[in-house]
Amino acid sequence: MEGVEGPQEIPPFAPPSAGLLPPLTPSPYGPPPQLATQPAALIPTAPSYAPLPPPPPRRHLSRNSLIGIVAGAAAILLIVGGAFGASALVLQSMGPASAAHSSGGSSSAPSAGPSTRHPGGVTSSAVAAQPLRCTKTCFANNSLVRGDTVPPPSSITALGLTKTVDSLGDYSSSTASEEYDQTLTSWKDAKASPSQCFFTYFQSPVVAALGERPNRDITEIDYSGTHTDTAKNNTLTQSVRIFANSSGAEAHMRELAATVLACPQYRTTDTGDTVNVDVSPTESFIDFPSSEAAVGWTETSDGGRYESIDVQRGNLVVRTSLQSFDGAVTEQQFRSFVDDDAWQIASMLTPGDGR
């Protein structure tokens, strides 16, 4: 270039003065959030659900407790009046059967041994007279089917059971192996024996020998309701099990029937006293659907009465159990309740019916 001698140095770049730029307008929304400094409570996490507890185990009444109840009842009779007390003594001297006949009803007192009176006309059987046959699975394993097995509230309150302890959905679903674990704990806590009567402690439709945990069975079991009276002397529990197929449910009924016959009596010693419990199979019912099988048993002791009946239709089995410490819910009332519930189950639609 003319007039320029030698290489020229280029001056370093200098940023424009801050005064030359217009000031930034602050955001009306404030500074952006600093995620790194957010409190941990504001950072969403995946929800965690704790498993629901299992239903309460069966409770037993010791002989001493029963004596206390009877003594208290006797004291009330004396306070109410001599005439009423005298009538009660007369009926007592006649015996349970005579007292029931005299009053025109059935005795509400728990029997001293295995029941010999069966208020029925239909013989109990592990196999239905006309079994339900389905091309595939009769009942799907869903809440709709389980809900259809729940009896109406009016039939429960008719038994005097006005307090609902739990309902369908209050407990998480379980399996036969989980039911075994819970039952084993109750059996050991009661110090019960012999082992062939272990089945009596299951509150759901499960048959398993002591020491033989059903690990491979994954069929779902749900408790559909527990109801009791104000004094908690009579408690009704229902549970439902939906087998993979009808053959599995039918095998359960046959095994239960054979197991019941192998246990005439068991004993518990957890209270310090030995409590002997007589076990007798349910022999008959008042009226029963021909498409269903029914197997059950009755337990009697000085402490009261316990009854449990499994009703099977297709791949569905519903167990209904009653524990009565004062006999307010009679054997006939319980059987009538199970009969009514069986007819409700008989009316349930299968896939072939359009479900």
Closest CA to 59 of 331, 338, 324: 324
Which neighbouring-strand residues pair with 275?
268
Q: What is the mean pLDDT of residues 288-306?
A: 93
**Which residues lie closer than 8 Å to 242 by C-beta, 6 or more apart?**
139, 140, 141, 145, 146, 219, 220, 315, 316
Domains of the chain, by residue range, sit at 83-112, 113-353
Residue 240's Cβ-count burial label (10 Å; 0-12, 13-18, 19+) is buried
CATH code given to domain 113-353: 3.40.1000
Euclidean distance between CA atoms 105 and 173, whole angstroms: 40
79-121 pLDDT, tens digit per residue, is 334 443 333 333 233 333 223 222 233 333 333 233 333 344 5
Instruction: Answer yes or no: is pLDDT of 143 > 60.
Output: yes
Q: Dihedral sign for Cα 230, 267, 307, 317, please.
A: positive
Question: What DSSP line would sit under 31-51, residue for residue?
Answer: SPP-GGGS-GGGS------PP
The lowest-confidence range among 24-33, 59-68, 282-291, 320-329 is 59-68
Highest mean pLDDT of the ranges 25-29, 130-134, 163-167, 217-221: 163-167
Q: What is the mean pLDDT of residues 63-83?
A: 38
The pLDDT, as a whole number, for residue 92 is 32
The lowest-confidence range among 25-39, 195-209, 227-241 is 25-39
The pLDDT, as a whole number, for residue 144 is 86
**Which residues lie closer than 8 Å to 49 by C-beta, 6 or more apart?**
none
Question: What DSSP line would sit under 222-290, residue for residue?
Answer: EEEEEEE-TTS-EEEEEEEEE-SSHHHHHHHHHHHHHHHHT-SEEEE-TTSS-EEEEEEE--EESS--T
Take residue 99 and report the two structure tokens written for it: 């007292």
Would residue 225 be called left, alpha or beta, if left means φ above 0 and alpha means ψ between -120 and 50 degrees? left
Q: What is the pTM of this model?
A: 0.69
Take residue 188 and report the two structure tokens written for it: 């050991």
Better pLDDT: 247 or 76: 247
The pLDDT, as a whole number, for residue 313 is 96
The pLDDT, as a whole number, for residue 100 is 29
